[in-house]
Amino acid sequence: MKKIMLLGIALLLAAGTLARAEENPVPRIAWYGNLADGLAEAERSGRPILLISGAPACLGVPGVW
Amino acid sequence: MQGNIRSFLVNDQVVKASRSFVCIRLLTYENEQEYEFMERLLRVQSGTLPNTVFCLLAPDGKTKLTRSGRGPSFAYSNASALASGMKQVADKYPMAHENALSDTRLPRVHKVDVALNTAACDNRPLVVTVAGDRDELAKVDSTLLRLAWSEQFAGQFVFGSTTKRKDLRPLAGANETSAILIVEPGTYGVSGTVMAQLDTGASGEEIQQALAGALKDFTPQVKSHNAHIQTGYNLGIEWETVIPESDPQSVRAREAFKARQQRRQ
């Protein structure tokens, strides 16, 4: 019983460590989420295009790529 | 997004190189015109588009600069090679570096519900702009533009916008008069909670403070892929795509998963 409690506390502490706000958010790609705006911006700015597509669901369940 | 694709896109050098590109991430089965565009890009038979697509294109949006395929690994061996390749491509376009982060549009997803789901997938906060008509919406968006493309905030938020208040129903705490809402997406991206909201007329400084505060307070969720799917299935949470899923591998995997779940019940 004591071991289970200790394991539970350890897991809670680990979760607390992993799930916390980022003090300095890491740099991330800024994605256009639609084709028309992205193409128009590429034409306007003369920048090439990094195009990716993905379904915002896995096995039909949303919230994960 | 498959894990190996993600590993390319979170690489520091790839992110750095991306600033000289217009980065477009489409949602594969959510828009018919975009689906057809990608079919032409991959030259696949109509109605057989895989669920992931990758390509580098010229600013004309037509000329391919790399092989197109299901992911960056079709053209590059690893993330460092992709970053180098992107830099070489950008160097060929005189305006590419000069126009980094000079965008004149918000990088938004076309519908609020899809934007909310995308934010949940990315584990990032969502910014929604709302107004009564397109002209008003353009004014609201213009107040966010400089901040959205600043080094401080570029890539940190998912954006959506609407002229219909009913699109805000999944967002708990949304006020009737708000023009800019910053939202923490729920685990499955079918609901969200408003973290901060601003009315029309909020100053640039007020918006900046709200965005910075939301980033500080936002706690990315720890998601286990398999547990997320299993729990989502048990809760009956299912994402209905606009276009039927056409990737044979994904369709087979989904059918097999459902069959396994039904046998267990």
Nearest CA in chain B to A39: B61
β-strands B126-130, B178-185 pairing? antiparallel
The yes-or-no verdict on residue B66 having pLDDT over 80 is: yes
Q: What are the structure tokens assigned to B248, written together?
A: 């044979």
Q: What are the structure tokens assigned to B122, written together?
A: 């990315």
Q: What is the ipTM of this complex?
A: 0.95
pLDDT class of B223 with cuts at 50, 70, 90: very high
Instruction: Report the residue from B20, B27, B223 with minimal CB separation from A55.
Output: B27
pLDDT class of A11 with cuts at 50, 70, 90: very low
Nearest CA in chain A to B187: A63
Q: Does B44 touch chain A (CB under 8 A)?
A: no
Q: Which residues of A touch B16 (CB under 8 A)?
A: 27
The yes-or-no verdict on residue A12 having pLDDT over 90 is: no
Give phi and psi for B221, each to the nearest 5. -80, 145
The yes-or-no verdict on residue A8 having pLDDT over 80 is: no
Tell me what percent of the residues of chain B surpass a pLDDT of 90: 91
How many Cβ atoms sit within 10 Å of the Cβ of residue A22? 12
**Arithmetic mean of pLDDT over chain A:** 80
Contact check, Cβ <8 Å, A48/B89? yes
> What does the alpha-carbon distance between residue B255 and residue B239 come to, in Å, rounded to a whole number?
14
Task: Taking the CA atoms of B231, B233, B238 and B241 in sequence, report the sign of the dihedral they define.
Answer: positive
The answer for A 21-50 residues in CB contact with B (under 8 A) is: 21-23, 25-35, 37-50
Q: Does B149 touch chain A (CB under 8 A)?
A: yes
Q: Does B237 touch chain A (CB under 8 A)?
A: yes
> What does the alpha-carbon distance between residue B55 and residue B35 come to, in Å, rounded to a whole number?
14
Task: Taking the CA atoms of B242, B247, B250 and B254 in sequence, report the sign of the dihedral they define.
Answer: positive
> What does the alpha-carbon distance between residue B239 and residue B235 come to, in Å, rounded to a whole number?
12
Instruction: Report the residue from B21, B216, B220 with minimal CB separation from A49.
Output: B21
Contact check, Cβ <8 Å, A33/B31? no
**Distance from chain centroid for Cα B123:** 10
Q: Which residues of B touch A27 (CB under 8 A)?
A: 12, 15-16, 155
Nearest CA in chain A to B231: A61
Contact check, Cβ <8 Å, B121/A50? no
Q: Does B182 touch chain A (CB under 8 A)?
A: no
